[in-house]
Homo-oligomer: A and B are copies of this chain.
Amino acid sequence: MRVVIAGVAGVGKSTVLKSVEKLTSYDIINFGTLMFEMAKEIKLIESRDEIRRLNVDTQINLQKKAAAAIGQMDNVIIDTHMAIRGPRGFLPGLPEWVIRELKVSAFFLLEADPVEIRKRRNNDPSRLRDEESVQDIEMHQTVNRSYAVSYSIFTGATVSFIDNLPGLADEVAEKIVERLSK
Contact = CB atoms under 8 A, between A and B. Distances in A.
Copies of this chain held together in the complex: 3
A158 B60 contact: no
A153 B97 CA distance: 9
Interface residues on A, range: 35 or more
A180 B87 CA distance: 9
16 contacts: A83-B149, A88-B182, A89-B107, A89-B160, A89-B161, A89-B179, A91-B156, A91-B158, A92-B157, A92-B159, A96-B155, A96-B156, A97-B156, A99-B153, A139-B161, A151-B153
Nearest to A82: B149
A55 B153 CA distance: 19
Interface in A168-182: 179-180, 182
A61 to B, nearest CB: 12
Nearest to A95: B156
A90 B147 contact: no
Nearest to A59: B156
B149 A147 contact: yes
Interface string A75-91: 00000000100111111
A150 interface: yes
A160 B60 contact: no
A112 B158 CA distance: 24
A3 to B, nearest CB: 10
A150 B159 CA distance: 14
Contacts of A159: 83, 89-92, 143
A3 B128 CA distance: 31
